[in-house]
Structure 1
Amino acid sequence: MGQVKIYGVREQLQPIRQPLSDAIHSCVVEALQFPHDKRAHRFFYLENEDFFRPATASERYIILEFMMMEGRTVETKKKLIHLLYQRIGEQIGLAVTDLEICILESPAHNWGFRGMTGDEIKLNYTVAI
C-alpha cells in the first residue's frame, strides 16, 4: 500500500497536476513495482503566504510525502528518490532545489484497507523489494 501527498503553491501546482502525477506514478511503478492501475495521489494546494520554503527554493517548490508499508530495501527507496528527481526535472522542468521528498513507513498491521489490515491482505504486488 502506498499514498502520495503533494504540497505546493496553488498557482504553481494546479497547472502541472496531471503531468506531475504521471511522472510520480511512472517512478512508483518502476522503482516500487506497483501495478499501473494503483495510483493514490492527493494534492494539497497552499496559498503562497501559507507555504514557507527554503531560501534556495522558488515559488515552484514542491514537497512529496510517500506513506507506505515498511519492507522495501534502502536501495529500492533510493532508486525511487533518484527517479523522481530525474523524471520530474525532465518532464516538468523542476529544479532539484524546488523538490523535497520524504518517505514515511509504517508496519503493515498499521494499515487498513478492503476491510482488513495490511498484514492480513493478499496484495497483487510485492512490498519486500
Structure 2
Amino acid sequence: MSQIKIYGIASVLKPMRSQLSEVLHGCVVEALAYPKDKRAHRFFYLDHEDFYSPEGRSESYIILEFNLFEGRSTASKKRLYSLIFDRFERVLGLRPQDVEIVLIESPAHNWGIRGLPGDELRLNYKIDV
C-alpha cells in the first residue's frame, strides 16, 4: 500500500499536477512493481509565505512524501529515486535539486484499509520487491 503527498507552491504545482501524477505513477509502477490501477496522490498547494525551502532551491521546489508498507528493498527504493529525478527533469523540467523525496514506512498492521488491518489484506501485488 502507498499514499503519496505532493507539496509545492500552488502557482507552480497546479498547472503540472496531471502530468506530474502520470510521471510519478509510472516511476512507482516500474521501481516498486506497483499495480497500474492503484494510485493515491494528494496535492498540497501552498502559498509562497507558507513554504520555506532550503537555499539553492527555486520556486519549483517540491516535496514528495510516500507513506507505505515496509518491506521494499533498498535497491528498489534507490531505483525509485533515480527514476523520479530523471523523469521529473526530462519530462517536467524539474531540476533534481528542486525535488525532495521521503519514504515513511510502517508495518502493515499499522494501517486500516477496506475494513481490515493491513496485515490481513489480500493484495494483488508484492511488497518485498
Give TM-score scaled by structure 2 length: 0.98
Partner of 2:103: 103
Partner of 1:23 in structure 2? 23
Moved over 6 A (4+): none
Aligned equivalent of 2:74: 74
Segments of 5+ residues of structure 1 without an aligned counterpart are none
Deviation of the 1:55 alpha carbon: 1.2
- Over the aligned positions, Cα root-mean-square deviation in angstroms equals 0.5
Aligned-pair distance for 1:128? 0.7
Aligned residues: 129
2 CA distance for matches of 1:103 and 1:68?
7
Equivalent residue letter for 1:48: H
Distance in structure 1 (CA, Å) of the matches to 2:33 and 2:121: 18
Structure 2 residue ranges without an equivalent (≥5):
none
Which residue of the partner structure matches residue 51 of structure 1?
51
Per-residue CA deviations over 1:6-63 (Å, capped at 9, x if unaligned) read 0000000000000000010000000111111100000000001110001110000000
Quote the sequence identity (%).
Answer: 54
